[in-house]
Amino acid sequence: MSDKDAGTPRVFLLRHGETEWTISGRYTGRSDIPLTSGGELQVLNSARVVVGPRKLIDPSRVAHLFVSPRSRAKRTYDLLFEDYQEALEGKSETTEDIREWDYGLYEGLLTAQIREGRKGRALDKERPWNIWVDGCEEGESPAEVTERLDRIIAKIREVQGPHMYGEKGVDVVLIAHGHILRAFAKRWIGFELSMRLPMMLEPGAVGVLSYEHHKVDEPALLLGVNMGSSQ
């Protein structure tokens, strides 16, 4: 962040490491698929680079963590913060509000299979299926996903709002899944989920959100982070 924004609270989006279904591209929502050995290594490599005193995610400045209840997310939390359990004691919340999108009928399928199935049910006659617009049959709609993500955002801003100049360490960490974290980023900046905002978040990777001008009502995507500086 620039000097003028130093100390502004941040929200870190951490996607769990890869699973067998991540590798194959299958939609993985409620299925409790474990990390692969490669997925665990992804998370450990990220932890070495970004987690620790005076690093990007300094556990001493973390006020709260929201963790998906799926085992792949909880295992990612354990790997990321295995050396900082004491510093984070009482700050971690496992919540359904940050679980992956409920894919309903599409659980375990590939995008091509979903679109072919919908075609067979006489859907999508004018355009291809788009989860951000159409949601999932027997799963969640964009409105339902928005409702639960907005609850988390409200909690975060209540925690961070009084400390916009770094008076207190109030960084927040979310450990969850690819679709839901991208949905969260959209809602963070006030976008409807149907609005086009192409984003990528690799397994085991970290994204960063913050605010402009030290103002809680000016949320922003933090596109670049100076890894050599500290708050």
Domain-by-domain residue ranges, the chain? 3-221
- What is the token pair recorded at 159? 């925690």
pLDDT in tens, 20-31: 999 999 999 999
Rg (CA), the chain: 18
Residue 227: predicted pLDDT? 66
pLDDT in tens, 89-120: 999 999 999 999 999 999 999 999 999 999 99
- On the question of pLDDT at 228 being above 70, the answer is no
Q: Which residues contact 17 (CB under 8 A, 6 or more apart)?
A: 35, 36, 38, 39, 40, 41, 42, 43, 72, 75, 76, 79, 203, 204
Query: Is 213 one of the annotated active-site residues of the chain?
Result: no
Three-state SS letters, the chain: CCHHHCCCCCEEEEECCCEHHHHHCCCCCCCCCCECHHHHHHHHHHHHHHECCCCCECHHHEEEEEECCCHHHHHHHHHHCCCCCCCCCCCEEECHHHCCCCCHHHCCCCHHHHHHHHHHCCCCCCCCCCHHHHCCCCCCCHHHHHHHHHHHHHHHHHHHHHHCCCCCCCEEEEEECHHHHHHHHHHHCCCCCCCCCCCCCCCCCEEEEEECCCCCCCEEECCCCCCCCCC
Binding residues: 28-29, 72, 100-103
Q: Which candidate in 18, 40, 64, 100 is catalytic?
A: 100
- On the question of pLDDT at 230 being above 60, the answer is no
pLDDT in tens, 148-196: 999 999 999 999 999 999 999 999 999 999 999 999 999 999 999 999 9
For residues 120-131, give the mean pLDDT. Answer: 94
Q: How confident is the model at residue 224 (pLDDT cuts 50, 70, 90)?
A: confident
Binding residues for substrate: 28-29, 72, 100-103
Residue 216: predicted pLDDT? 96
- Whole-angstrom Cα distance, residue 4 to residue 1? 8
- On the question of pLDDT at 5 being above 60, the answer is no
pLDDT in tens, 51-89: 999 999 999 999 999 999 999 999 999 999 999 999 899
- On the question of pLDDT at 4 being above 60, the answer is no
Which of 126, 138, 175, 149 lies closest to 27 in space, CA to CA? 138
- On the question of pLDDT at 229 being above 90, the answer is no
CATH superfamily of 3-221: Phosphoglycerate mutase-like (3.40.50.1240)
Q: In one letter, which amino acid is 25?
A: G
Q: Of all residues in the chain, what percent carry a pLDDT higher than 70?
A: 95
For residues 35-56, give the mean pLDDT. Answer: 97
Residue 112: predicted pLDDT? 96
Residue 41: half-sphere exposure toward Cβ, Cα within 13 Å: 3
Q: Which candidate in 16, 64, 177, 179 is catalytic?
A: 16
Query: Is 93 one of the annotated active-site residues of the chain?
Result: no
